[in-house]
Amino acid sequence: MHNSWQPKPGDKIFRPRRIRGLRLRRVLGVPALFSAGYGDVGSSIYYALGIVALVAIGATPIVLAIAGIIYIFNALTYAEGSAMIPEAGGSASFARHGFNDLGGFAGGWALMLSYIVTIAISSYTIPPYLSYFWPMLREPAIGTTVSMGIILFLMLINVIGIKESARLNIIFIAMDITTQLALVASGVLLILWVNPDVLFQHMFGHGNWPSTQNLIFGIALAALAFTGVETVSQMAQEARHPTEQIPKAYILMIVTVLILFAGISIVALSAMTPQLLGDPVNGWARDPVAGIAANLPSPTLQAIFAPLVAVLAATILFTATNAGLMGISRLAYNLSSHHQLPATLSRVHPHFRTPYVAIIIFCLIALLLLMPGFFVANFFADLGALYAFGSLLSFALAHAAILSLRAKKPDMPRPFKLHWNIKVKGREMPVTAIFGLIATSAIWIVLITIQPYSRWVGIIWMVVGLIVYCLYRWKAHLPLTHIPKKPGEGVL
């Protein structure tokens, strides 16, 4: 159908090359891609462990192990998809190619929710870690106020367009991995080696095993712990050799993340009871890694690790909050450039050349999500469930899109092709994508069944997005499922 839209006088269109700090030049290698993805995963370990323990209590290591297997399925699917379709967009791009514009929008809009919650939950976790230096930050009202201030500060920084240093991020991430490995080694030697029964008691002792419902809910929340797959995919257009480097970055992330999460969760359950680990008021739910440092049986190591963890956690979480904002900018551009969102969300500032409308709108939504922090002590788990709503839906659509592309376009070049295939009507279907689709879909269904907050807020979010999408396409005289042969260079 002919597109009758024409830019209005004075309209400015968001194109990647025009945005300071978001120039999509192919300059990134495996270390940069890995550090970007690990920046999300490395930050999530500082809060996901506590959220999961709040629900899964003694089963926390087992829940994280199950989620880790699903993470492997997700990472492998994204490796094939990103190498095959090296463009920003992640699951939104996979679904657009595998299904149509409507499917791509659904994946992108769900992913947008995950980015917004990442901004909210990362900023909300910074004050508890910094409370090592300023104890008053543990007060809910003060901590929530500081979290909102962090978001507003980063909103201003992103609107102005101050570029962050990728090299500095890599240094912080290297320090973070080293610190976590040192914490794991200290916990194993000083706690588990001395008293190997403590872990068993904390996991399976009386009152420490969760109900079946909470066990499944814990697996859903554990999606928080295994972020980063979308981040690497969003940077596909900036990789020097995406078909080779992106799969390598994903494999490196799989190995690093699984080792660190296994070690951190086991040491955490050895150093303290699951009740203490998962208590959001008087325990360590909001700063679980600080809890490990504070409960090491050595005053000397406590004195070394406690301030180091506080500084590194705050730094990584601050970076993750900012990464969420940058991810929203890339995703808003991708959706707009393919006629899935109005141009307003991708319009750049006439002076700063940044997508200020998208940045401001989604920061305000993140602030709104933090409002319960002034009144409800345990809304932390609700934020985690809301993140799981968006991320699990995005993952499920990504798996389904890869399977659809295997069926519809079997001859499409696949520089990284998943193995362990079964043949369905003559088409090779990857087992990992099938299992990933089943697992993420099933957990998502259970989540919206047992968790009312994520169910209603998530469904309202998706419905509002679909209404905006339908009205916009109708106004632009485009069918709901139309895929242009050549994506327009401008943005509707």
Query: With 70 as the cut, is the pLDDT of residue 329 above it?
Result: yes
Q: Report d(CA 232, CA 238) in Å as an integer.
A: 10
Where residue 186 falls among pLDDT bands split at 50, 70, 90?
Answer: very high
Question: Would you give the DSSP letter of residue 57?
Answer: G
Least confident span in 146-150, 166-170, 330-334, 379-383? 166-170
Q: Is 348 helix (H, G, I), strand (E, B) or coil?
A: coil
Where residue 266 falls among pLDDT bands split at 50, 70, 90?
Answer: very high
Instruction: Please return the burial class of 212, using the count of CB atoms within 10 Å of its CB with bins 0-12, 13-18 and 19+.
Output: exposed
Residue 50 CA: distances (Å) to CA of 128, 224, 314, 336, 468: 12, 11, 16, 37, 36
Higher pLDDT, 73 or 248: 73
The tokens for 267 are 């040491």
CA 373 from chain center: how many Å?
21
Query: With 90 as the cut, is the pLDDT of residue 463 above it?
Result: yes
Q: Report d(CA 184, CA 10) in Å as an integer.
A: 57
Phi, psi of 238 (to 5 degrees): -105, 0
Write out pLDDT tens, residues 96-151. Answer: 999 999 999 999 999 999 989 989 999 999 999 999 999 999 888 899 999 999 99
Across the range 229-246, mean pLDDT stands at 69
Length of the chain: 492
Least confident span in 13-27, 148-162, 467-481? 13-27
- How much is the pLDDT for 262? 87
CATH architecture of residue range(s) 16-399+435-475: Up-down Bundle (1.20)
Write out pLDDT tens, residues 416-451. Answer: 888 889 998 889 999 999 999 999 999 999 999 999
CB burial of 64-102 (b: ≥16 within 10 Å; e: otherwise) equals bbbbbebbbbbbbbbbbbbbbbbbbbbbbbbbbbbbebb
Q: Look at residues 197, 207, 249 and name the one whose alpha carbon lies nearest to residue 228.
A: 249
